[in-house]
Structure 1
Amino acid sequence: MQALIEQLFSPDRDAASEAFHELNRLSEEPVEWSYDAWDRLASDLTHKDNRRRSHASQLLSNLAKSDPEGRIEAVFPELLEATKDERFVTARHCLLSMWKIALVGPERKRMVMEGLAGRFRECAGEKNGTLIRYDIVESLGKLYDADPDEAVKSLALELIGLEEDPKYRKKYASVWKKK
C-alpha cells in the first residue's frame, strides 16, 4: 500500500493518476491505511498543481469513513475553500465528492450540509455560480440517494427556492424530480 501512496505523489502524472484511481477505488470501503496518506493529502489541498489539489480533496472525502480520529473536521474548512479553486474543474471535483463525508455520522452530515448550504448562498455572483449551485444540489442528491434523510431533501429544496432565475431553478429542481 505504501508504494501506491508514494506513487500518488509522484511527479509522473500518469503514475500519479493511476495511483489516484486505484486508491479511490480501494477507499470506497473503510481502509486501515488512511492515516498513512492523510497529512500529505491535507497539505496537497493547497499544492501548486491543481491535479494534486483535486486528488487530495476527492481522496480525503473518500477516506472520511476511515477516520476514527475525526481529522476530517480539521480539514473541512480547507475542503470548502477548495470549492473556490482557481481551476474550476478542481473546485467541481471537490464539490462532487464532499457528500461522502456526510455518510460518516450525524455530526459530519450537519457539517457538510451547513458547508454546502453556505457555499450555495455565497456563490451566486461568482463566475461559475450557476454550475457551482448545480453541483451542490447534485451532491445533496447523491447524499440523499445513499442515505434518504428528509432533512437533506428539505435543505436541497430550500436552496433551489433561493434561485431567482426560473430557468436555473428548474434546472436545479430536475435533480430532485425522481426522488
Structure 2
Amino acid sequence: MNEAIEHLFLDSKSADKDVNYQAYQQILILTEEKVDWAYEVWEQLLEDLKHPNNHQRSRAAQYLANLAKSDPENRILTDFPLLWQVTKDEKFVTARHSLQAIWKVALAGSAQKKMVLNYLTERFRTCEDEKNFTLIRSDILQGLRQLYDETLDQEIKQTALNLIENVDDPKYKKKYTAIWK
C-alpha cells in the first residue's frame, strides 16, 4: 500500500470533519475497484467494527463491504458475521449505512452472494420487532435492487419479489414494489 492510501486511512480518523469526510469519500472511490492492499487494512477494519465512535464503525463496515471483491482468500466468508453485527448497531444511522453497503459483498463471488442473500432474506423476514423495520426492509430491497442492476442475476430479482409478495401491509407492499419498477 502506498503512502497516499495510508495517509487517507489516517485522515479518515481525523478530528477535523472536513479532512475526515474527504478521506472517507476517497477511500470509497478507491475501493469501488479491486485493490491489492486490502489485507493491509483488513484486520484494522475488523477492529474498527467495534470502535467506540459510531462513524468509525460505519465506515469500517462500508470499507469492508467494498473490499470484499479484493479478497482472494475469501476472508469475508468467515468475517461476515462481524460486519453483519454493525447492521444492527445501537445507532440507527450507523446500522443503516452499513446495511446499505452490505450488498457489495455479494459481488465478490457465488459463495458471498449466497451468504448475503441468506442474511438479507432472513433479516427481512424477522425484522418486524425492530425499530424502523420498514426502513430496514426498504434498505434491504434497495440493496437487492443495486445488486441486481450490477449483475442482472434473475435469482436476486426473484428473491426480492418473493419478499415483497409476503408483505401484508398494502401501503408498504406498494412502496417496496416501486423499488423494483
Q: Classify the TM-score, shorter chain.
A: over 0.9
How many residue pairs align between the two structures?
A: 177
Structure 2: distance between partners of 1:14 and 1:59: 19
Q: Which residue in the other structure is 1:46 paired with? A: 50
Q: Which residue in the other structure is 1:124 paired with? A: 128
Task: Tell me the SS of whatever aligns to 2:128.
Answer: coil
Task: Tell me the SS of whatever aligns to 1:9.
Answer: coil
Residue 77 of structure 1 and its aligned partner are, at CA, apart by 0.8
Q: 1:71 to 1:9 in 2, by over 3 A?
A: farther
Question: Which residues in structure 2 correspond to 1:1-179 (within 5 Å)?
Answer: 1-177=5-181
Residue 71 of structure 1 and its aligned partner are, at CA, apart by 1.4
CA RMSD between the two structures: 1.2
Task: Tell me the SS of whatever aligns to 2:129.
Answer: coil
State the AA in 1 paired with 2:75.
R
- Name the TM-score, length of structure 2 as normaliser: 0.93
- Once the two structures are superposed, residues 71-90 of structure 1 have per-residue CA deviations (whole angstroms, 9 ceiling, x without a partner) of 11122112222111111111
Structure 1: distance between partners of 2:83 and 2:63: 11
State the AA in 1 paired with 2:98.
C
State the AA in 2 paired with 1:49.
N
State the AA in 2 paired with 1:6.
L
- Once the two structures are superposed, residues 112-158 of structure 1 have per-residue CA deviations (whole angstroms, 9 ceiling, x without a partner) of 00010111111112111000000000000000000011110111011
Task: Tell me the SS of whatever aligns to 1:97.
Answer: helix
State the AA in 2 paired with 1:40.
Q
Structure 1: distance between partners of 2:8 and 2:85: 27
Structure 1: distance between partners of 2:168 and 2:36: 46
Moved over 6 A (4+): none
State the AA in 2 paired with 1:28.
E
Residue 9 of structure 1 and its aligned partner are, at CA, apart by 3.1
- Once the two structures are superposed, residues 100-121 of structure 1 have per-residue CA deviations (whole angstroms, 9 ceiling, x without a partner) of 1111111110010001011111
Residue 2 of structure 1 and its aligned partner are, at CA, apart by 1.6
Structure 2: gaps of 5 or more residues: none
Structure 2: distance between partners of 1:141 and 1:175: 7
